[in-house]
Amino acid sequence: MRVRGIVLPEREERTFWIRGDRLTTDRPPAGTDAESVIDGGWLLPGLVDVHTHPGAEDADTPFDEALLRKHLLDHRDAGVLLVRTPGTAARMPAWVDSDEELPRVRSAGRWLATPGRFFPGAGRDIREEELPRAAVEEAGASSGWCKVIGDWRWDEPAVPLDILTEAVRAVHAAGGKVAVHCQTAEGSRNAVLAGADSLEHGMHLDPGLLHRMAAQGTAFVPTLGAFGSGADEMYARERGARRDHWVAGWEGMLRNVRAAHEAGVTVLAGTDSFPCGTVAAEASWLIRAGLPSEAALGAASWTARSWLGLPGLADGAPADVIAYATDPTLDPRVLAHPTRIILRGRVVG
């Protein structure tokens, strides 16, 4: 099969051939027929949702493998060909990685929850002193990631910095990475100071920490759409400590997204919401918060793929390609409407 179009972000017209599940720039031998599956348009290396929880739609619903497959197919059919699942109620089943119909998955094992810091029983409940060992275990049993619930209620303390730091160091020593859920100033601060690989949400993040995040490679996954969908309701509520704390955190997140980008922090697109397959909307939220359109698209495509260890559209890269009739950097709404989807070298949409 042959693929031709203008590749983003390079903005160069290129032609690839698909051999097995890889892209190549080597022409097939003379006389060999190569079906043209994409001829013209704009090409991206598959969309990416770096914060999604397929398999259960709320904390009260048991993890369900049939629902997991449906959610992953919903992602795929929207052009989301790579996902990171930072925490689930159960470890990702082995068949996910072998099913060629599904997006590539980078999982983070079960949520790691210390007392009082998550929905009871929804993740792996542990004592604070057990966190370093449990973090290494979950990273080793997944795709190398683990997810720590770094804080929970707005008026209660976060996981202590020394314990979180020990957990991050232990996981890094084992070759893994740590994502930290944080929605309070203390939780966000501790995640940065501990050297976490990603801040999930980062509500109330002190902007004075952004340069440290950039220097140590801590990514920012603000999941703006998950918060923004409920913002009008929160603004309409009667003033009170909890409501005012949330509003201040939300408004700070919007400011911090642009400031983080300008400081050199890797900002990435994650939905943390349902239905699955809506990362294009998250890219629009990043633009609304102040990211340039190309940076926002990268956060949902080539930048995220690189961050997760996969190349973009290049010779020898995985044959994960989505095509658009027009340039999505000029009209980000286009991102939700690919004209062709190729996953693992197979046309799936």
Domain map (residue ranges) of the chain: 2-44+312-347, 47-307
Cα 176 from Cα 164, distance rounded (Å): 15
CA R_g for the chain = 20
Quote the CA–CA distance of 246 and 235 in Å, as a whole number: 9
**Backbone phi and psi for residue 69, each to the nearest 5 degrees, phi listed first:** -65, -40
Closest CA to 267 of 234, 245, 290, 247: 290
Q: Tell me how far apart the alpha carbons of residues 56 and 273 are, in angstroms, rounded to a whole number.
A: 11
Contact in structure between 22 and 319 (CB atoms under 8 Å): yes
Q: Identify the pLDDT of residue 31.
A: 64
HEC states along 158-178?
Answer: CCCHHHHHHHHHHHHHCCCEE
Tell me the mean pLDDT in the region 295-317: 97
Contact criterion met (CB below 8 Å) for 230 and 210 = no
**Residues near 296 by Cβ (< 8 Å), separated by ≥ 6?**
269, 283, 284, 286, 287, 332
Q: Which of 127, 169, 129, 115 is nearest to 146 (CA)?
A: 169
Residue range 324-338, pLDDT digits in tens: 999 999 988 899 999
pLDDT in tens, 16-54: 999 999 999 998 887 677 789 999 999 999 999 999 999
> Could you read off the pLDDT of 224-282 as tens digits, one per residue?
999 999 999 999 999 999 999 999 999 999 999 999 999 999 999 999 999 999 999 99
What homologous superfamily is domain 47-307 in, according to CATH? Metal-dependent hydrolases (3.20.20.140)
- The phi and psi torsions of 164 (rounded to 5 degrees) equal -65, -40
For domain 2-44+312-347, which architecture applies?
A: Roll (2.30)
Closest C-alpha among 345, 288, 281, 260 to residue 78? 281
Q: Is the pLDDT of residue 223 over 70?
A: yes
In contact, 71 and 63? CB cutoff 8 Å: no
- Segment (H or E) for 283: helix 279-289
Q: 2-44+312-347 and 47-307: same fold?
A: no
Q: What is the pTM of this model?
A: 0.97
